[in-house]
Structure 1
Amino acid sequence: MSAHVDAKALADADLAAHLAEVAGRILLEVRSSGLFSAKALGKAGDQTANQFLVHALREARPDDGLLSEEEKDNAERLGKSRVWIVDPVDGTREYGEERADWAVHVGLAIDGKPAIGAVALPGLDLTGTGAGTVLRTDRVQPLPPAPEKLRMVVSRTRPAKEAVAVAEGLDAELVPMGSAGAKAMAVILGQADIYLHSGGQYEWDSMAPVAVAQAHGLHCSRIDGSPLVYNQQDVYLPDLLICRPEHAEQVLSLVRALDQAA
């Protein structure tokens, strides 16, 4: 029997990391049960992990707002300073295909800013413990040395044309990958240097990854250089740049040049 965790007593960063890790384990159990067809697995995993996260957050932080991809939106969150923003399965296709590039996002926005975040990569076990990998805002690791040739992570199914054009301008290698969280964490882990996305996203796709990336010293912004603001009435947040800080201005300049040429 597992020990009881007093969630209300946990610091926000510990709570985010614990919830992301447990949700990841739940998702692995759902997948390994063998009860679901490939078509049904994504929905089953999404809904199961979502119920855990929603109930746990309402128990642990009853006064905070909550926004989840899998929950009906609520106007109550707009009047809250503290709002948890979660994505139970980021990269549903990759989850169903038993790939490693999917994630669980648990983040806390405070006054619209990405303050606390945890991104679990249950399929990527860097520690060898079988518990997957969780990157978080309060446990920062040094960025690996930059390689000679730049690498840019892009969608493995529909790379954004702006990202492809910027990669050509930088002579960067394209690295196809699944979920937004996996792409963002790839920059922290040294698997890539730039993540540029312009194909449409929502707040839950980027909030926790941005919080973690910023804590690790990465540049995070919209692709026009403006800040990323969360807990908005319209949760559509279509574009994103996460990169090593030394590449930010060059990437933003290339994007501006593309806009001017359009």
Structure 2
Amino acid sequence: MPAPDTQTQHDEDRALLNNAVSEAGVIALSYYQKKLKTWMKDGDSIVTEADIAVNEHLHRKLAQARPHYGWLSEETEDDAHRLQRTRVWVVDPIDGTRAFAKGKPHFTISVALVEAGRPVLAALFNPATDEFFEAEIGQGALLSGEPIKVGHRRKIEGARMAAHGPMFKHPAWREPWPEMEIIERNSVAYRIALVACDAADAALALNTKNDWDLAAADLILHEAGGRFTSHDGKVPIYNQEIPRHRSLLAAGPELYEALFARVGALKLPG
């Protein structure tokens, strides 16, 4: 258990975080399924006016309330001063922007508080479905106020896999994957959260992800009893100089082992 003063700080930060993310959901919904101003960044990444509005709200509510914490957000120019901060807000204002822009309910607002490289608080909200995931280190994970746990599936065959389906048909696989139920969600964080609440059995991605894609969902899955690593078994460390991660593997403990046996030795290009 954290020391009393640390727990008090966590309680205050959790209340601040949950309130800010709940309000951000209202803002996101005010733009949802309406004509949006959009533009592209980094060549193929879409941004909407909703991303910016939510980001500005979260920065105003979180960064200004905790000026001694760092800030890392997909929609804010990176500031290296975060590397000197013990605690850092890691933010994706809208994870799954492409789905959001198309009016599909497969997006989330994702915020974690990272301390010494690992998430200690998390809130992940899909306002279109009214699913609010939250977690505090050592305190379990909740979905809309109710405790959640990962499933106990062991076999890959028949598993509900939250991933990009064509990946499993790639000719580079030495042996074909067994039949699975593929759950396509544009939001990476949402895919992992679905594993945490046993709406999916596993999530796998073999392309690069960023801190803001993973940090909140990482803690929620961990606190729900799941395992979360890169495909080769490395536990993510957040708020590094380059806040990127080569891959992800998320599942309940038994299925994680079966999936790791299949993908753990892969050597990915780049």
TM-score, shorter chain, exceeding 0.5: yes
1:193 aligns with 2:201: yes
What's the offset of the Cα at 1:142?
Answer: 3.5
Equivalent position SS for 2:77: coil
Aligned pair partner of 1:136 in 134, 149, 156: 134
Kindly provide the amino acid, as one letter, of the partner of residue 62 in structure 1.
P
Hey, which of these two has a bigger chunk of strand by percent? 2
- Count of equivalent residues: 243
C-alpha separation between the residues in 1 aligned to 2:210 and 2:79? Answer: 15
What's the offset of the Cα at 1:82?
Answer: 0.4
Query: Which structure 1 residue ranges, 4+ long, deviate > 6 Å from structure 2?
Result: 38-41
Indicate the residue corresponding to 2:43 in structure 1.
Answer: none
**How does 1:1-262 map onto structure 2 within 5 Å?**
11-31=12-32, 34=34, 36=36, 42-124=47-129, 132-138=130-136, 139-140=141-142, 141-143=147-149, 145-146=151-152, 149-155=158-164, 159=167, 168-259=176-267
Indicate the residue corresponding to 2:4 in structure 1.
Answer: none
C-alpha separation between the residues in 2 aligned to 1:46 and 1:64? Answer: 22
CA RMSD of aligned residues (A): 2.8
Q: Alpha carbons of 1:77 and 1:222: their partners in 2 closer, same or farther (altered >3 Å)?
A: same
- Structure 1 residues not aligned, in runs of 5+: 1-7, 125-131
Equivalent position SS for 1:190: coil
TM-score, normalised via structure 1 length: 0.83
Equivalent position SS for 2:48: helix
C-alpha separation between the residues in 1 aligned to 2:28 and 2:254? Answer: 37
Equivalent position SS for 2:94: strand
Task: Indicate if the aligned counterparts of 1:78 and 1:232 stay in contact, CA closer than 8 A.
Answer: yes
Kindly provide the amino acid, as one letter, of the partner of residue 217 in structure 1.
G
Task: Indicate if the aligned counterparts of 1:13 and 1:116 stay in contact, CA closer than 8 A.
Answer: yes
Hey, which of these two has a bigger chunk of helix by percent? 1
- Structure 2 residues not aligned, in runs of 5+: 1-8, 41-45
Task: Indicate if the aligned counterparts of 1:102 and 1:178 stay in contact, CA closer than 8 A.
Answer: yes
TM-score, normalised via structure 2 length: 0.80
